[in-house]
Chain A
Amino acid sequence: MIEFHLDARSGVAPYMQLIQQVRHAMRLGLLKEGDKLPTVKDVVASVAINPNTVLKAYRELEYEGLVQPRPGLGTFVTRTLGDEADLAAHEPLRRDLEGWLAKARDAGLDDESIEALFVNTFRHFSAERAGRRG
């Protein structure tokens, strides 16, 4: 079982924070297929948030095909994210990224410029992909 927390200053909507925490736990293998998510009542009793926020997050996760509610029993994880092959691909990608970061530093970019360049490029890349698909 996982436990949720909320960062009020992150600027990320509370229901989205819950979704991200479930996905994150799934990628790390903390949540596997068949595991149960905390009940709405348990979540609101520990995090002190509106029950509708939790319901919305769980509905969204269900829509993404990651969880499935079973009436009277609770909400269960239906998939395992980040399997072995996925994790195996991480290491070489991380090395490439570290190489790129070293180059950016050598070129004189500071932390903020590096982050801005990465985020911008990533955004363009994703937008182009989405455009091509649509």
Chain B
Amino acid sequence: MTSVVVTEGLTKRYGRRPALADCTLDIPAGHVVGLVGPNGAGKSTLLQLICGLLRPSAGRLSVLGGEPASGSARLGFVAQDTPVYSGLSVEEHLRFGAHLNPSWDDQLAHERVDRLGLDPKQKAGKLSGGQRAQLALTVAIAKRPDLLLLDEPVAALDPLARREFLQGLMEYVAESGTSVVMSSHLVADLERVCDYLIVLVRSRVRVAGEVEELLATHHRLTGPRIDPEALGPGRAVVHARHTDVQSTLVVRSSAPIEDPAFSVDGIDLEDLVLAYMSEAAESGRDRVLEKQR
């Protein structure tokens, strides 16, 4: 299978502060990729690098087999906060899209607007948040892009609008097979729609892979207190919590863990993401403590 995005040591700095550091990824085509992480982790920076709005400070990046190009017809991008022109009507958005994009699918655009019940004469500024998001998505997918990038598309929407947005997006993916990369911090949504996950924390990629494989290789171990080092080779401790008598570990291991001392459970995507996030938070805290000493 081909890759839609390949990066190697990709880095973006604003002044001296790295927004994205040493990011190496290989995102296969035909997936809905969830890009997850706390605010300020570098999600938007990565998306803007991919769609050519930002230039890397260091490292390599290939998008759809070539240099990223801003405004490429093969890329659909919906930036944060559902970018529509509030002074333009729904119909004007579609005409604008048709004018700018040689690959524009006018039938698809109008069918979607019909089905969503949007009034073509309505000014975008008068639409609800959910309708604005749907209009922005319509404009992006009517380009018939090979890669669709969505930056926090549902963050500001109420639960119903969020569900409707994801329904429309999945329907489009089912009929077109378009690759999608979407950032979000709503893991419950990502768990439904994504089959590939990238966890970004503090400007670094913590883990990336197919959701099914990630779930199969991460385990929660509960048992008597243990030094994580003593777990043996091939088992990486992602996150550990200890009381005076008990240890709870999240462990990555491709081989099944059969240790009679522990009760071994599966883990859901939300707990997996949280384990990687809190690992980063704790090691960050440790560093701060060391400095103070």
B146 at the interface (CB under 8 A from A): no
Closest to A53 in B: B195
Chain B: which residue is nearest A15 at the CB level? B212
Residues of A close to B173: CB separation below 8 A: 44, 50-51
Assess whether A105 is interfacial by the CB under 8 Å rule.
Answer: no
Q: Say yes or no for B241: interface residue by CB 8 A criterion.
A: no
Across-interface contacts of A11 in B (CB, < 8 A):
266, 268
Does A6 have its Cβ within 8 Å of any Cβ on chain B?
yes
Residue A49 at the chain B interface, CB threshold 8 Å: yes
Which A residues lie within 8 Å of B215 (CB)? 13
- A48 near B174: Cβ-Cβ < 8 Å: no
Chain B residues lying within 8 Å of A13, measured Cβ to Cβ, are: 215
Write the nearest CB–CB distance from B122 to chain A, whole angstroms.
24
Question: Is there an interface contact between A50 and B195, defined as CB atoms closer than 8 Å?
Answer: yes
Which residues of B in the span 162-184 have a Cβ within 8 Å of any Cβ on A?
Answer: 163, 166-168, 170-171, 173-175
In angstroms, Cα B167 to Cα A52, docked, is: 14
User: With A and B bound together, what is the CA distance between A40 and B188 in angstroms?
Assistant: 21
The interface residues of chain B lying within 8 Å CB-to-CB of A69 are none
- CB A74 to nearest CB in B, in angstroms, measures 14
User: Smallest CB-CB separation from B168: which chain A residue?
Assistant: A45
CB within 8 Å for A45 and B170 given contacts A11-B268, A50-B32: yes
B268 touches A49 (CB 8 A): no
Q: Mark B179-198, 1 if CB is under 8 A from A, else 0.
A: 00000000010011111000
- Say yes or no: B171 contacts A50, CB within 8 Å: no
A130 within 8 A of B: no
Contacts of A48 in B (CB 8 A): 163, 166-167, 170, 192-193
Q: B174 contacts which chain A residues (CB < 8 A)?
A: 40-41, 44-45, 51
Let me know if A44 and B191 touch, CB within 8 A. no
When distances are taken between beta carbons in the complex, the residues of chain A under 8 Å from B175 are 41
Residues of B within 8 A of A (CB): 32, 163, 166-168, 170-171, 173-175, 188, 191-195, 215, 266, 268
6 A-B residue contacts at CB 8 Å? A14-B192, A44-B170, A44-B171, A44-B173, A48-B170, A48-B193
A contact residues vs B (CB 8 Å cutoff): 6, 8, 11, 13-14, 40-41, 44-53
Contacts A44-B173, A45-B168 aside, 7 further interface pairs with beta carbons under 8 A come to A44-B167, A45-B170, A45-B174, A48-B166, A48-B167, A48-B170, A48-B193
